[in-house]
Structure 1
């Protein structure tokens, strides 16, 4: 197959530090177009990657030569742009959360199916080596029955790395739809579903804004989750961890405890009930901290799924299941009741 021609829609931080960089490292692709409503930014990024710059994504999608696009826009535009791109015959890699409602997510999945194109959601935690190893250990029965878990994803907030700082769309409800819970919590719901190998059925949540007085979205969220087999645990998502980023997950099983990304050196520590401890050095997790800027694996996997015509690991259907947990958390917080998670 000839080189894949790629367009990137939205040229903010995630596009600059992840998508564009990682496409440029991949020998199978050529970045031919970029788009941003900020014309100056679009032109600047276009020059950097020798790509045509657009300010209207529909003009970019009209280019018949473009095979696939990354959608790196504010959350409220994920679904409309992805649907337009799929209908224009492009494969789509969409940032998370994939949409702002179940209906939008279903429409994205339908558009991919109708047009015979790949739709992948950028949940990079599935590509982290320690997470893959944990999934393997659980699947093989090495950990025994899973009893509980606790998972956290927190940092100081998007103002530290977003191209627009405190003015960023991340803090504006009409553009972001949800704050830390959608930015970080959705990653963790996807990770937990992947590692545990089962779906969540119920959620109880507190979703608050108490750290960022300039934001009209949540910056702290804590959820209690229950899987279909009765595993219960907690998930915390926060933009209020002002010192060090936390991206840890601990899984408590019958035969062992798995500590993921909870130690500066060992990305996975297995503490067996027998007293034996096994430490794994599997490389650094992706993070916003210095030293975590290694490739996510997302771009390479997306490209590979197109080139080899295989189903991506995080399809639209998978992205929707992770989104449903977040939507359930919002509902629980609003109703002050345990919410059932949509299938």
Structure 2
């Protein structure tokens, strides 16, 4: 029997509530061997749910633990690069939450560290791992709509307050709606086209005093050869009430409480993704799944199997550098008011 991947989870904030159940569901591939958090209270409460798990309040101590094969990093964006590189240089595999880093320079350093130490770096582009999303890419590759010529993506949601205090600070989050949700959409668009755009133009504004980053954005990308993409995102679509702590958890990430649509226009057809849960081709439903579909389980399976099989995972560090390059281009365009060549 092949040995399980011995995994440590770093960070026990909001997003850990999605990742930790997925680890249990992948118990045939993955063994949780350590938890790392500076919050001793959270650490103690979570450790009680797992048999034989080690706990660390020091990340450096965890990195030096020879019984850890890989790290799952669930941290504020501004320390993704630092923590990833430290683990990669110690010969550990890394799955780090999106966005990959704060900028393309950090992302390149992360990918270089993985390659230099012959370990796997995967980015948590978790919204790839739904059946309808995967099927949409297969349909594009099989020319079901002819040649892809345009992708239009729209997110309308309502958020009053950030789900975490560090979201308020642009220096920690690297913006607002672009790293939080745009990183998913920009990843999908480049995945569908199979390459990066040639240029990007973006407009963005902050309308809510509860954070400093952009919450209203329009992005236009040119892929050349008559191919393009457009993204519209808003956290100001205030037609739905919020709870005491703002729009968090399922209230923001579900179809019922947001409008999330992607239209893939081809030379001979139209694909429509409604959220991640329903795919239609020319108005006929092709694929659907429940909103409870275990995408984080699928993501962890891809990480573990890529390591076991010695191959690049989906959403590898080297691949997602291109997403960071476009994100950087968006912020430069917003700052200068100009089209940015990539």
Query: What TM-score do the two structures reach when normalised by structure 2?
Result: 0.88
| Partner in structure 1 of residue 203 of structure 2 | 206
The verdict on how the C-alpha distance between 1:156 and 1:31 changes in structure 2, with shifts beyond 3 A counting, is farther
| Partner in structure 2 of residue 192 of structure 1 | 189
| Partner in structure 1 of residue 288 of structure 2 | 282
| Partner in structure 2 of residue 221 of structure 1 | 217
Quote the Cα distance in structure 2 between the aligned partners of 1:179 and 1:69. 25
| Partner in structure 1 of residue 50 of structure 2 | 49
Count of residue correspondences = 321
Quote the Cα distance in structure 1 between the aligned partners of 2:98 and 2:275. 24
- From 239, 263, 266, give the equivalent of 2:235: 239
Q: Which runs of 5+ in 2 are unaligned?
A: 241-256
Report SS of the residue matched to 1:178.
coil
Cα displacement string for residues 223-275 of structure 1 (whole angstroms, at most 9, x for unaligned residues): 01111333122112333344322332101112111111169xx711111xxxx
Matched, 1:261 2:274: yes
Quote the Cα distance in structure 2 between the aligned partners of 1:215 and 1:46. 33
| Partner in structure 1 of residue 244 of structure 2 | none
| Partner in structure 2 of residue 287 of structure 1 | none
Matches within 5 A, 1:1-343: 1-17=2-18, 19-26=19-26, 27-50=28-51, 51-157=53-159, 159=161, 162=163, 164=164, 168-210=165-207, 212-242=208-238, 243=240, 244-261=257-274, 267-271=278-282, 277-284=283-290, 291-292=291-292, 294-296=294-296, 297-341=298-342
Quote the Cα distance in structure 2 between the aligned partners of 1:325 and 1:188. 11
Quote the Cα distance in structure 2 between the aligned partners of 1:10 and 1:132. 29
**Matched-pair contact (CA < 8 Å) for 1:152–1:248:** yes
Report SS of the residue matched to 1:77.
helix
The verdict on how the C-alpha distance between 1:36 and 1:220 changes in structure 2, with shifts beyond 3 A counting, is farther
Quote the Cα distance in structure 2 between the aligned partners of 1:155 and 1:294. 23
CA RMSD of aligned residues (A): 1.9
Quote the Cα distance in structure 1 between the aligned partners of 2:90 and 2:156. 37
**Matched-pair contact (CA < 8 Å) for 1:181–1:238:** no
Query: What TM-score do the two structures reach when normalised by structure 1?
Result: 0.88
Quote the Cα distance in structure 2 between the aligned partners of 1:96 and 1:154. 20
Quote the Cα distance in structure 2 between the aligned partners of 1:222 and 1:39. 42
The verdict on how the C-alpha distance between 1:308 and 1:158 changes in structure 2, with shifts beyond 3 A counting, is farther
Cα displacement string for residues 298-337 of structure 1 (whole angstroms, at most 9, x for unaligned residues): 1111111112222101111111111111110000000000
